[in-house]
Each structure stands twice: as structure tokens, then as C-alpha cells.
């Protein structure tokens, strides 16, 4: 028996690229070429480098990366947003869906915040907002978050955004100081909504 794709090809590309609102004066919007300095700054933050392994950017490489975010969306391979002030200005963070398997109905949430965006619960709200978009608008069935077991802040974000811990993946990701075990967290479309 043929199993139909959970999300048919073309559905993601056809979705309107709307801004997603967040509480407390933040929103999720698409990365624009003029946001390149924010990516350059992310390359100088030791915590983002340690945990997200994004590498350093020149302004030109940052612009290329932003162009790639747009191309990846068009190709239905990833959906990446900037976390930016509602009032305008440079992003303080990034959140997105990567490793998308539309036919299988799953994807992985990635995120980081610069120090200016940390400490106020913004990422819990952003993770919940992107999850609801992924389930309700895109139609995915399962989302996961993975992080090094040595990163307790990311573990708390996952738990608080409705992604309970499912297990530990041994030697799952190579960091600058060697292989790290990673926690696997996941949220299903059928899980109860999160209160935060
Ligand atoms: C991970 C990250 C998104 C968390 O965002 P944040 O704004 O710093 O987190 P918050 O201040 O909302 O804190 C969330 C929870 O984590 C806890 N926490 C934060 N930093 C912590 C740390 N270093 N150690 C232990 N717990 C920590 C907070 O106490 C809070 O827990 P509580 O709700 O039970 O009080 C952000 O710190 C970040 O981007 N860090 C650098 C890169 C990174 O870790 N990326 C994730 C890769 S998987």
C-alpha cells in the first residue's frame, strides 16, 4: 500500500511568508540582506560558536548565508526566521526548522540568541510559535530538538516549550572538545498545547 506524503510537495513553498508575532515586543520575520551584521556578530559569541558551531562570517559570507536561507525555503529544505524587535532593528537571534522530511512529517528546531536577547524567556515563546506554525500551517507531525547534554539552558528551553526528553544519543555530535552525547526531545502535533 502506498503511504501518502504527510506534507505534499509544494505546500511549504505556497504558504504566505507572514511575520509571526511573539510576546514582549519581539517577532519572527525573514532574514534580510541588511541583517548581515547580526550574523557576523553571532560568529563572535563564544556560546553560539560552542553550541551551534556556526563558524565565523565576513559580511559577504553572512549575506550569502541569508540568500541561502531564502533559497532553502523555496526548495522546501529549511524554514529559518530572525528573532527581531517589533519596533525594528537588527535580529538578536535565529530560530528555524531544518533537516525537514516533509514526506515523513518531521523536522528539527534550531535556535540561538545573542546575549542581548537572553534571560527573558523569548526562546520558549519563539519555539512554541514555530512549532504551532509547523503543525498547524505546514502540517508536520513530529518536531525534535537535540542539544549537547552539557548545555542545560537548551534543555530547559526544550522542556518548557513542550518537548519532553526522549533519551540520550551517545557520541552524537562532534564539538571543538570532542564528541558529545546529545539529548533528544520531541513534540508531536497531537500533544497538548503548552502554557507559558
Ligand atoms: C540556549 C538559549 C537559547 C537559551 O535562551 P536564554 O534566554 O538564555 O534562556 P532563558 O533565560 O529563557 O532560560 C531558560 C531556562 O534555562 C536556565 N538556564 C539559562 N542558562 C543556564 C545555564 N547556563 N545553566 C543552567 N540553566 C540555565 C534558566 O534558569 C531558565 O530555567 P527556568 O525557566 O527553570 O528558570 C541561549 O542561551 C543561547 O542561544 N545560548 C547560546 C547558544 C545555544 O546554546 N544554542 C542552543 C544550541 S542547541
Which pLDDT tens digit goes with each residue over 24-67? 999 999 999 999 999 999 999 999 999 999 999 999 999 999 99
Please report whether residue 53 resides in a domain: yes
Is residue 100 a contact partner of residue 175, using CB atoms and an 8 Å limit?
no
Does any ligand 1 atom lie closer than 6 A to the CB of residue 57?
no
Q: Separation of 3 CA from ligand 1 center, angstroms? A: 39
CB atoms within 10 A of CB 50: 14
Residue whose Cα lies nearest atom 19 of ligand 1: it is 153
Cα torsion angle, 20, 148, 174, 188, sign: negative
52-82 core/surface letters (b: 16 or more CB in 10 A; e: else): bebeebeeeebbebbeebeebbeebbbbbbb
Please report whether residue 97 resides in a domain: yes
Does any ligand 1 atom lie closer than 6 A to the CB of residue 111?
yes
* pLDDT tens, position by position, 148-172: 999 999 999 999 999 999 999 999 9
Residue 121: DSSP 8-state: S
- The residue range of the domain holding 34 is 11-145
Q: Is the pTM of this model over 0.75?
A: yes
Does any ligand 1 atom lie closer than 6 A to the CB of residue 51?
yes
Is residue 26 a contact partner of residue 122, using CB atoms and an 8 Å limit?
yes
Please report whether residue 130 resides in a domain: yes
Does any ligand 1 atom lie closer than 6 A to the CB of residue 144?
no
Residue 23: DSSP 8-state: S
Q: Total structural domains in the chain?
A: 1
Amino acid at each position: 500500500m502506498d503511504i501518502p506524503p504527510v506534507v505534499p510537495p509544494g505546500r511549504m513553498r505556497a504558504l504566505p511568508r507572514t511575520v509571526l508575532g511573539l510576546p514582549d515586543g519581539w517577532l519572527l520575520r525573514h532574514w534580510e540582506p541588511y541583517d548581515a551584521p547580526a550574523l557576523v556578530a553571532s560568529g563572535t559569541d563564544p556560546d553560539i560558536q560552542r553550541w551551534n558551531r556556526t563558524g565565523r562570517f565576513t559580511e559577504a559570507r553572512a549575506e550569502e548565508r541569508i540568500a541561502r536561507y531564502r533559497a532553502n525555503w523555496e526548495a522546501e529544505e529549511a524554514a529559518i526566521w530572525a528573532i527581531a524587535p517589533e519596533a525594528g532593528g537588527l535580529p538578536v537571534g535565529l530560530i528555524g526548522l531544518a533537516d525537514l522530511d516533509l514526506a515523513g512529517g518531521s523536522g528539527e528546531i534550531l535556535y540561538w540568541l545573542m546575549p542581548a536577547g537572553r534571560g527573558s524567556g523569548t526562546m520558549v515563546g519563539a519555539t512554541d510559535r514555530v512549532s504551532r506554525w509547523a503543525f498547524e500551517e505546514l502540517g508536520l507531525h513530529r518536531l525534535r530538538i537535540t542539544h549537547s547534554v552539557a548545555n542545560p539552558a537548551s534543555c530547559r528551553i526544550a522542556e518548557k516549550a513542550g518537548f519532553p526528553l526522549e533519551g540520550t544519543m551517545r557520541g552524537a555530535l562532534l564539538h571543538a572538545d570532542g564528541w558529545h552525547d546529545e539529548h533528544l526531545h520531541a513534540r508531536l502535533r497531537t500533544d497538548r498545547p503548552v502554557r507559558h
